[in-house]
Structure 1
């Protein structure tokens, strides 16, 4: 699908969304096996609504594939509200991890197979800077701006 952050490929398996890939081929040819058009149609509709600023919470069956630790991190991501940010350290603390575990959280965040829907773009560095987005920092900034969150580039532009 076309989106304000580039072409997205939506992948379904066993009646659940399992992956959203950035930079999908323009010819529409899938890079991954997929099926079940009803779910993909609904996911497409919800993403269109999100990009239009009319949807703040996705309601889709999700089945991201990852380790137990990664899935725990992604569960916390799913609870980060639209239009807000959090830090890797906060997620580590929320999971009861020891100090310094923010790097492990960052690695799990980077492995998120469902960006946008599991909002890893809402996680920033401890000092508020945009760091570590698998889709690229420009996309991260675009998604945050879409949600009304100013980025450090926006703040610098004010002065």
Structure 2
């Protein structure tokens, strides 16, 4: 049986709505958005990590929460917590590429596909990006359309914009949020 430890985190950037944060012994495996509930976390864990017990443990999650808080307060630019990605081989390759995007910089979906050696996988990259289980720390918000448009974002386009602004990146367009402008 695998134990998944979880806790909640609130921050003014998210109007103090809770984010649920979960980790295994291997590392951080899930962060929910404020619009997602504990049931979202529970369902994800049941699907991705079978034979699991969920244990609330604020102390175990404290190092992860500290780094998230430091980032959102503008005090941290890089994360060094271990990650436990749970997804397909392709998804995890996309998520690893996301961790290589430096603070304050962006990449397009097509640039991520090119970096993976599969330039035709632009839409698949978008889908994997949207399924990122560890947002913020695995910076899916740093991926925008190649026309500089803020494309769809599971956490909400306003959140994506806030995170980019926090990092000092403002060279994007609020126009063109069409579903497939990668």
Could you say what the CA RMSD is over the residues aligned between the two structures, in angstroms?
2.0
1:62 corresponds in structure 2 to 83
Counterpart of 2:125 (choices 85, 90, 105) is 105
User: Structure 1 residues 89, 16: CA separation in 2 closer, same or farther (over 3 Å shift)?
Assistant: same
2:70 corresponds in structure 1 to 49
Counterpart of 2:31 (choices 8, 16, 20) is 20
2:112 corresponds in structure 1 to 91
Task: Please list every run of 5 or more consecutive structure 2 residues that lacks an aligned counterpart in the other structure.
Answer: 1-8, 43-53, 175-182
Three-state SS of the structure 1 residue aligned to 2:23 is strand
Shift of 1:31: 4.7
* TM-score, scaled relative to structure 2: 0.76
User: Structure 1 residues 70, 42: CA separation in 2 closer, same or farther (over 3 Å shift)?
Assistant: same
CA contact (8 A) 1:86 1:123 kept: yes
CA contact (8 A) 2:108 2:143 kept: yes
Shift of 1:14: 2.4
CA contact (8 A) 1:85 1:122 kept: yes
* TM-score, scaled relative to structure 1: 0.86
2:36 equivalent to 1:2: no
1:156 corresponds in structure 2 to none
2:158 corresponds in structure 1 to 138
Q: How does 1:24-35 map to 2 (within 5 A)?
A: 31-32=41-42, 33-35=54-56
Shift of 1:129: 0.5
User: Structure 1 residues 97, 10: CA separation in 2 closer, same or farther (over 3 Å shift)?
Assistant: same
Give the Cα separation in 1 of the matches to 2:57 and 2:103: 28
